[in-house]
Amino acid sequence: MERRGAGSQEDVRRHNLGTLLRLLHVQGATSRSDLVARTGLNRSTVGTLATQLADVGLLRESTPVASGAAGRPSIVVEPCPRTYVLAVEVGVEHLSAARVGLGGVVLKRCALPQDPGDQDPVRTATKVRALLEELLEEAGAEQVCVGLGVAVCGLVRPTDGTVRLAPNLEWVDVPLGDLLKDELHPQLPVRVGNEADLGARAEHLRGAGAGVQDMVYLSGEVGVGGGIILGGRPLTGAGGYAGELGHMVVNPTGRRCRCGRSGCWETEIGEDAVLRATGRPPGTPLADVFAASRAGDLQVQSGLREIGMWLGSGVANIVNLFNPELILFGGLTSDLLRVLEPDVRASLGSTLHAPRAQVRLELPGLGADSNLIGAAELAFAPLLSDPLGVLAAARRRSGRLLRGAAPQPVAALTAGV
Amino acid sequence: MERRGAGSQEDVRRHNLGTLLRLLHVQGATSRSDLVARTGLNRSTVGTLATQLADVGLLRESTPVASGAAGRPSIVVEPCPRTYVLAVEVGVEHLSAARVGLGGVVLKRCALPQDPGDQDPVRTATKVRALLEELLEEAGAEQVCVGLGVAVCGLVRPTDGTVRLAPNLEWVDVPLGDLLKDELHPQLPVRVGNEADLGARAEHLRGAGAGVQDMVYLSGEVGVGGGIILGGRPLTGAGGYAGELGHMVVNPTGRRCRCGRSGCWETEIGEDAVLRATGRPPGTPLADVFAASRAGDLQVQSGLREIGMWLGSGVANIVNLFNPELILFGGLTSDLLRVLEPDVRASLGSTLHAPRAQVRLELPGLGADSNLIGAAELAFAPLLSDPLGVLAAARRRSGRLLRGAAPQPVAALTAGV
């Protein structure tokens, strides 16, 4: 039962401002008459709200589009990317970062390789700082940062951004949120999430999963992650740790996983498994493996078939467990699907026929950017709940966004990698 | 965004009547002042609604309880079980049925064994009819039936109650809903659902899962089913087929499952697997197996340890995938947990530590009745959405609830079983 009577006029206004801004953030340029139709609010309310958002610089009017109906063309508004977030993805083999403007536009991006032998959390935070410094170089004084969102390949406690476990980074209970806060302006909000959960969120919002109620997004670089949307809402579980598809055992006689079990999905289809199955030494770029397969290397092709069998086996479990409308193959699994789609489809043949008939297998709509865009969405969320309040707080933050002395240049950090 | 302006005064009244009745249906006897507190409606509205529900016989006043505060004790109201549903569970080895009054009280129950060699859908419908006839024998003219709910161990298309697949009944696309409608008054609503989904619903509503947001309920008799509640809502998936935990492969080198894959969880821990692992011939009652284990039979104990390993392996996957607060072991898995709890807890040791720390393993609060009570809840749902409308429709149905000639007595159907 909904609580009644608790909403003041101010709550209603904040809610409506958020609704309008969220819609524009996702849809981009929209006419006022479309906003009226989509929000169910009346024309004068939409006008007032849009003016309030434009006054503070969150929206701007853009060129009116021709209206099909007679009369004046409706005014078109669009989100203004002057308000932005910082987004970071902490992977096993790379760190990437972007400055993302309201509306989801990537304003600038940069990346650093991670050294597989040097994923120390403090050093990682230093590298992230260097990336952020580079992103902020060209941000003018009129641009406003409302937060930092971080995607990491591990289980994250949502309340404080602690990484409870990231097997492939060998991290246990790493306070990543706090480490990054130490580098930043003390009032800049920092939010950390699981990369696959965030990738799913981005794809659901503005990628191949837009409008889909039940979907599974696979992510991965060295391991495999899963982000799951059910009934239009993210699957979180009791503590925010749900969806660890990479740690579903598919082969109990398989190799030991870094999580402690044996034959987890990621040990059977992750990077190490692909190299092992295809007889390639550790460290070989997967692109080389796929190129060898395309060139007709029989050993590689045979090894990949084995990977395809395990990939398909996990996908079949997903179909039986979640009855999704869509499975998106991101990251590593994106490359695998391109090569192994026939094998995966063959495995689908063994699923229960009712859910099988409903599922589509596709690649992410945002390409390799899903997780990073998802991190940006995590950082945008407070603004979209309370546009004026969050923006005002952001403007009150004076001074540099990064604390302390000028940073090490990114070039120095890549030396020797 | 919620639709605005669509709700008339009549919609609001229906919604509030439903809210009040649902609350009483689940909570039982409640004082009017508690109803005010719980619904957020004001005292006079609650009084008016309660009077309307009492006038049509859905509620009755019961003995006032002493109030802690000074002044008159608040009037206590409770649901009146004169309005009831029929509930049926179609299992592989048994059919059970109950007449369940508003408030969830089982007014009468009966059962028939299923002959493993004779689960023909039409004959099953005939047996169900016999059970319903027995249930209805003592129902007086003042009692009102608002529907039939059926729980079946298979994948059910929610729209028409067709069983798309029930491997252990060897049913494919059986129109169970229609078969039962043919036996009943043409206007009596018939709704069919998956037994584990319904068991989860019942446990979440009034069993061990009350108040729990994220839970997994395991069911099973010959096979294994799963019903999953996430964020307080049932996991349905795109077509209502989600949660088929029994058809998650845990042992790819295991035996062929009736679904077509190999090593599904139910082939490794289901009835056949238990008998095979413990060296008992097909058809041996599992109670005998567990008794032999308790009596110290080493072969049986060793076989059960193997089952315990697979049971634990599936439970560990569930913890990693769903991060549930609670896993309830119903049906067959209830007996298994009693014997094998140490083995299952040992398997939990290998799950990701963050979700592991949040999960409890328990037995269902409704004992063996979860699925049947869930079927009743499915049948009650329309009444709880529109109490006066559904009750009026039920009263308009004249004549016998069962069509055609007097039934075969139940005794005749059990002959030879």
Cβ contact (<8 Å) for B155 and A350? no
Cβ contact (<8 Å) for A322 and B39? no
Taking only the tens place, the pLDDT of each residue in B15-60 is 999 999 999 999 999 999 999 999 999 999 999 999 999 999 999 9
DSSP state letters, B281-306 = PTT--HHHHHHHHHTT-HHHHHHHHH
- Regarding predicted confidence, which is higher, B180 or B118? B180
Cβ contact (<8 Å) for A165 and B351? no
Spatial distance between the Cα atoms of B74 and B72, rounded to a whole number of angstroms: 6
DSSP B255: P
pLDDT of residue A3: 43
Nearest Cα residue in chain A from B352:
A259
CB B221 within 8 A of CB B95: no
| Partner B contacted by A250 (CB < 8 A) | yes
Taking only the tens place, the pLDDT of each residue in B227-278 is 999 999 999 999 999 999 999 999 999 999 989 999 999 999 999 999 999 9
pLDDT of residue A412: 53
Over residues B283-288, the mean pLDDT reads 94
| Partner A contacted by B12 (CB < 8 A) | no
pLDDT of residue A5: 47
Over residues B151-165, the mean pLDDT reads 94
Confidence of residue B67 (pLDDT cuts 50, 70, 90): low
Scan for tokens 């095979």, then name that residue. B276
Question: If contacts are CB pairs under 8 Å, which of residues 32-71 in chain B contact chain A?
Answer: 38-40
Structure tokens at A322: 């979640």
Question: If contacts are CB pairs under 8 Å, which of residues 147-166 in chain B contact chain A?
Answer: 155, 157, 164-165
Structure tokens at B135: 């249930």
Cβ contact (<8 Å) for B321 and A320? no
**Lowest-pLDDT range of B109-118, B168-177, B249-258, B380-389:** B109-118
Cβ contact (<8 Å) for B320 and A350? no
pLDDT at B14 > cutoff 90: yes
| Partner B contacted by A173 (CB < 8 A) | no
Fold of A208-364: Nucleotidyltransferase; domain 5 (3.30.420)
Give B-chain residues touching A155 at CB under 8 angstroms.
352, 354-355
Give A-chain residues touching B196 at CB under 8 angstroms.
none
Instruction: Quickly list H helices, B171-297.
Output: 176-181, 195-206, 265-269, 271-277, 286-294
Confidence of residue B350 (pLDDT cuts 50, 70, 90): confident
| Partner A contacted by B251 (CB < 8 A) | yes
pLDDT of residue A1: 39
Cβ contact (<8 Å) for B239 and A353? no
Please report, rounded to a whole number, the percentage of residues in chain B having pLDDT higher than 90.
Answer: 81
Fold of A83-197+369-414: Nucleotidyltransferase; domain 5 (3.30.420)
**Which of B243, B313, B353 lies closest to A321 in CB terms?**
B243
pLDDT of residue B160: 94
State the complex-level ipTM.
0.89
Please report, rounded to a whole number, the percentage of residues in chain B having pLDDT higher than 70.
Answer: 93
Spatial distance between the Cα atoms of B246 and B257, rounded to a whole number of angstroms: 10
pLDDT of residue A63: 67
> Average pLDDT for consecutive 10-residue bins of chain A (417 residues)?
58 95 96 93 94 96 64 83 96 95 96 86 94 90 94 94 93 95 92 97 97 96 94 95 96 93 96 96 94 95 96 96 97 94 91 91 96 98 97 88 67 48
Chain A interface test: which of B174, B323, B359 (most A C-beta within 10 Å)? B323
Spatial distance between the Cα atoms of B323 and B356, rounded to a whole number of angstroms: 8
pLDDT of residue B149: 98
**Lowest-pLDDT range of A291-300, A394-403, B79-88, B125-134:** A394-403
Q: How many CA atoms lie within 13 A of B273 on its CB side?
A: 32
Spatial distance between the Cα atoms of A17 and A385, rounded to a whole number of angstroms: 8
pLDDT at B409 > cutoff 70: no
From-to residues of CATH 1.10.10.10 in chain A = 9-79
Within 8 A by CB and 6+ apart from B125, the residues are B176, B179, B180, B182, B183
From-to residues of CATH 3.30.420.40 in chain B = 83-197+369-414, 208-364
Cβ contact (<8 Å) for A355 and B241? yes
Calculate the alpha carbon distances from A2 to A24, A181, B40, B41, B50 in Å. Answer: 27, 36, 8, 11, 20
**Which of B242, B313, B352 lies closest to A249 in CB terms?**
B313
Over residues B295-307, the mean pLDDT reads 96
Domain A9-79 has CATH 3.40.50.300: no
